[in-house]
Amino acid sequence: MIKERVAGYSKSDFETIHKDAKQRFEELKASWLDKLLWTTPARARHLLGTDREKINGYPIFDGTHILAQRSNVAGFLEGNTSPSRPWIRYIHPDKDRNRFAPNREFLDRVTNRALGHLSNSNFYFEAGQFYYDFSVVDTGCHIIKRRGNSVHFYTLQPGSYFILNNAFGEVEMLIREFCLNPKQLTNRYGKKKDGNYDWSMFSQKVKDLYERSNTTAKIECVEIYTRNKDYNPSIPLGGSNRQWTSVVYETGVFAGAGFNNQNYEPNDVKDPKYLEINYYRRRPFVVGKAQGELYGEKGPTTDAIGLIRSLNKKAVSKDIAIEKMLDPTTQGPASIRKSYLTTQARKHIPLDATAAAQGGMRSVYEINPAINALVMDVDDMRRQVEKFYYADFLMFLSNNPKTRTATEAAGVIEEQKSVIGPNLQSLNSTYNVPISEYMLDFTIENDPYIGDIPEDLQGEWIETEFISPFAQAQKAFDLPQINQFVAQWSQIASLIPSAWNNININKLAEIYEDRYQLPAGLNNPATEVEAMMKQAQAQAERQQQLEALPMAADATKKMMEARQISEEQGGDISI
């Protein structure tokens, strides 16, 4: 399709954005490539381009960081975005509204449906790949596509995308590069008229290559996601009046195998042709990243890369030393003929008197490595690598079998989860929140089974509460102290029942509901509890009044009898 401007941008504007974002990434490219080759070489293919044989130049002899990374990915997948248990819950910011049973039931129903949509999609598979990228280059990216009544996630290869942030460090633009051959490109984006492709949306080069059935040439394409400058919130939402937009267009043709090939023919950046234009009501991509100026710059592999190289070097040096010890280069008298030499077991090498006097055969290298010191040094470095990847926390029970009681082990695990907790803040803001908000919007817009929105929630802002194992451990860190306080106070109250008046039972119930993530309706709302307490107090007062009536009647009767006796005797009675 041909358009002079899309979402407030011209074709030249988009290409300027593309080149600027790619240039900024060049500062990190070498670092990313090095870390990927040491950890997940297959994910470095896009960065390597045609130079993919470089992967063989990074043989890994010590797999400590590979195992630690595997534990890290599995731990974060289960502890942060667990596929086997709820990890988010939608709530209203106002506690009273949130505890109101109809509101809570509706929000729980929306939560369950949103988690169901994630389970029915490929999210948890792609999340595992995201955590691999996040643990290596401190950044990972999903593109979210809607497929009818479901969603689909695509995890982009490191180096195939670039980002630009706003003034607050939030990702505002995502630029993605990809290559397709002419047939793939026309099948994906082409539109037919009368049985033939409409070539007006493609460059002349694509048409020529397609007609020649060329399958080796690669068409370089760029997809850019950005905010829609033309969005107007004062008019109805729909069509091109949505907050986000994406465009796809050709940038050139590679005659060879893809990016970084020298035989490249660029397209005219002023040619206003687009392969595809889409508009979205919510941001259709998620970029999770650690602390950093543009991309993430702080993470396990970034911290451990020096140790990873050193361990690999020590593994190589150890193998060389052992080989020289087992099969050494020897030296000795020239009178010992070569035919005498053998390395077979239980063989004899004869020496004459002269050779024996000269010391016989001996090794050229006098190798006597301090094995114990080397093992201790390597073990210490391995433990450090595991700590950088949090593997010592995530694999505590496997690494410490039968060394603690169940209560002690549970306490240590909760403590370790709380240590990981602060490191989840960047994931919460850049990964968890965008995904949960996208699924909330998708569920309310497309799911017919959530029911009618309660009147109390219509037009209200809904928040996300994280209830993953990591989030629960962080939030419930004070539960042991609370339980200890309640247990000790119970002992005091058994002696002095009035001591219970010092504890706010309603507040205690709220704390347990919050820490244990209890379902809707188990605890009554504070307003209902207050009304029930007032009703119970009123009933108690009426009961006291009813119990006092017979006593008052009896006292009145006795008084009247006394007055009558006094009058009969002619005396007075004073009250």
The string of pLDDT tens digits covering residues 557-570 is: 777 777 777 777 76
Mean pLDDT of 514-531: 66
Residue 232 pLDDT exceeds 70: yes
What pLDDT score does 351 carry? 66
Q: How far apart are CA 455 and CA 553, in angstroms?
A: 54
Residue 355 pLDDT exceeds 80: no
Confidence of residue 342 (pLDDT cuts 50, 70, 90): low
Higher pLDDT, 463 or 474: 463
Place of tokens 């060389």: 320
Tokens standing for 336? 């010992």
pLDDT in tens, 164-173: 999 888 899 9
* Residues 477 and 455 sit within 8 Å (Cβ to Cβ): no
Tokens standing for 86? 């709820």
Tokens standing for 145? 């596509």
What pLDDT score does 365 carry? 63
Instruction: Kindly list the distances between the CA atom of residue 113 and the CA atoms of 145, 549, 566, in Å, as whole numbers in the listed order.
Output: 18, 59, 84
Query: Could you tell me where the DSSP H helices lie in 423-525?
Result: 425-427, 433-446, 469-475, 479-495, 505-515
- Contacts for 21-24 with beta carbons within 8 Å, 24 or more apart? 21/162, 21/163, 21/164, 21/173, 21/175, 22/162, 22/175, 22/177, 24/162, 24/164, 24/294
Nearest to 225 by CA among 141, 313, 134, 101: 141
Higher pLDDT, 1 or 177: 177
User: Is the sign of the CA dihedral 254, 129, 113, 245 positive or negative?
Assistant: negative
* Residues 217 and 209 sit within 8 Å (Cβ to Cβ): yes
Confidence of residue 575 (pLDDT cuts 50, 70, 90): very low
Confidence of residue 402 (pLDDT cuts 50, 70, 90): low
Task: Choose the weakest-confidence range: 171-175, 203-207, 296-300, 483-487.
Answer: 483-487
Confidence of residue 371 (pLDDT cuts 50, 70, 90): low
Task: Choose the weakest-confidence range: 51-65, 277-291, 453-467.
Answer: 51-65
Place of tokens 């955590």: 131
Q: How far apart are CA 15 and CA 9, in angstroms?
A: 10
Q: How far apart are CA 283 and CA 279, in angstroms?
A: 10
Tokens standing for 448? 């017919």
Residue 258 pLDDT exceeds 50: no
Q: How far apart are CA 394 and CA 70, in angstroms?
A: 11
Angle between helices 371-388 and 300-326 (to 10 degrees): 160
* Residues 390 and 420 sit within 8 Å (Cβ to Cβ): yes
What pLDDT score does 432 carry? 94
pTM above 0.85, yes or no: no
Angle between helices 505-515 and 526-568 (to 10 degrees): 160
Q: Which stretches does DSSP call E strand in 82-138?
A: 88-91
412 burial (CB, 10 Å; 0-12 / 13-18 / 19+) is middle
* Residues 336 and 355 sit within 8 Å (Cβ to Cβ): yes
What pLDDT score does 259 carry? 45
Report the greatest alpha carbon distance in the chain: 158
Mean pLDDT of 107-123: 94
Mean pLDDT of 495-505: 78
Confidence of residue 332 (pLDDT cuts 50, 70, 90): low
Residue 263's CB is within 10 A of a number of other CB atoms, namely: 10
Residue 186's CB is within 10 A of a number of other CB atoms, namely: 22
* Residues 295 and 138 sit within 8 Å (Cβ to Cβ): yes
Compute the chain's Rg from CA coordinates. 37
Residue 72's CB is within 10 A of a number of other CB atoms, namely: 26
pLDDT in tens, 10-25: 999 999 999 999 999 9
Q: How far apart are CA 388 and CA 484, in angstroms?
A: 34
Q: How far apart are CA 123 and CA 117, in angstroms?
A: 9
Tell how strand 285-289 and strand 139-147 pair up. Answer: antiparallel
Task: Choose the weakest-confidence range: 155-164, 199-208, 427-436.
Answer: 199-208
Nearest to 154 by CA among 137, 164, 172, 140: 140
Place of tokens 């007006």: 200
What pLDDT score does 395 carry? 67
Confidence of residue 509 (pLDDT cuts 50, 70, 90): confident
**Which of 90-99, 276-285, 502-511 is the most confident on average?**
276-285
Q: How far apart are CA 14 and CA 9, in angstroms?
A: 7
Phi, psi for 111 (deg, rounded to 5): -60, -45
Residue 201 pLDDT exceeds 60: yes
What H or E segment, with its residue span, contains residue 539? helix 526-568
Q: What value does the mean pLDDT of the chain take? A: 82
Residue 415's CB is within 10 A of a number of other CB atoms, namely: 13
